[in-house]
Structure 1
Amino acid sequence: MPEAEGRNPLARFINSAFNILESPVVWFREKVVEPNQQTSYWYHRRFRRVPTIDECYTDDVICIFEAEQQFKRDKMVDNEVLNILRMRYEDCMFYEGPEAKKKCMPLYDEYLKAAENWFIKYGDLGATGNVIKAYMKQKHRLVWERRHGPVGTGMREQS
């Protein structure tokens, strides 16, 4: 009904009042805001990598906090990677049917390796696991491997 706006004096008045209020806002948006916006092609925020906990001083609270936040983000990413690998394997098993054991074995091996790596880093930390506990777990594991060989192979004989 564009022609109805021109015939009615009240509609013309409301339309002009609306344009008086709206045109500065539209001009500011088009000329100032949109040219200065950063275009991002990602659906998630990209954080810069921060120093890890072994690079922080013991009294540097900010560095420890940043390392803790980085650890939490990394854990969430690793959880999602593991979920995606598991879903790919399950989809393959469903799609392939009787020959799934043979055709989906590479996906299953990849999932098992990722699950092992996840457990090496985050396993047995519990719900309150933080970056310091994970770092100590890694340190103890490296000491064990230096003394006794890879974890799970048993202890070496003392010479």
Structure 2
Amino acid sequence: MPDQDPPKNTFFKYYQSILNALEAPVIWVREKIVEPNQKVYPWYHQKFRRVPTIDECYTEDIVCYFEANEQYKRDRLVDSEIVHILRKRYEHCILYEAPDHIERCKGVKETYEEAATNWFIKYGDLGAYHDVKSAYMKQKHRLIWERRHGPVGGGVRTEVKE
């Protein structure tokens, strides 16, 4: 606080001395101990540790459920952004390779369509307000369907296994 004006009377001098006595140790610990030992990450490279998924949580473990839900939300944002970037790459390829874009952008289009299909398999038809439990139930129901009827989109099997 050296950039401030000096105190004008004894009350302000007393107040300033108490403030310095309380604040000085905190500032010293912060500048000399905490900040030198702290890892600095840019906000866009922040690393979150992976937490247990919803199928690894106990039914009454609310903290585990919350952490799994937050992990699911982060994963969904990352997957959505990946699909968005691939769509933009495909659109830019179409604009750049205008008359021959069907041949030249085939690889980019296949990559985008595969990513969009995988995104829809995992997150599609869940509604606006869904959580990790509804996504897990969707995955479970899909696996049961494929066990009984074959791959989704391949038609329903009519013969019964014996």
- List alignment gaps of at least 5 residues for structure 1: 1-13, 18-23
- List alignment gaps of at least 5 residues for structure 2: 7-23
Specify whether residues 30 and 66 from structure 1 end up closer, same or farther in structure 2 by C-alpha distance, changes over 3 A only. closer
Which residue of 1 is the match for residue 15 of structure 2? none
1:80 aligns with 2:81: yes
Residues 39-48 or 66-75, more deviating? 39-48
Q: Measure, in 2, the Cα distance between the counterparts of 1:151 and 1:109.
A: 20
Q: Measure, in 2, the Cα distance between the counterparts of 1:92 and 1:55.
A: 42
Shift of 1:128: 1.2
Which residue of 1 is the match for residue 129 of structure 2? 128
Shift of 1:100: 1.1
Shift of 1:106: 0.4
What TM-score, normalized by structure 1, do the two folds share?
A: 0.78
What TM-score, normalized by structure 2, do the two folds share?
A: 0.76
Shift of 1:42: 6.1
Which residue of 2 is the match for residue 99 of structure 1? 100
Q: Measure, in 1, the Cα distance between the counterparts of 2:62 and 2:35.
A: 38
Q: Measure, in 1, the Cα distance between the counterparts of 2:124 and 2:98.
A: 33
Q: Measure, in 1, the Cα distance between the counterparts of 2:39 and 2:129.
A: 37
Number of paired residues?
A: 139
Superposition RMSD on alpha carbons, in Å?
2.4
AA paired with 1:85? L
Moved over 4 A (4+): 27-34
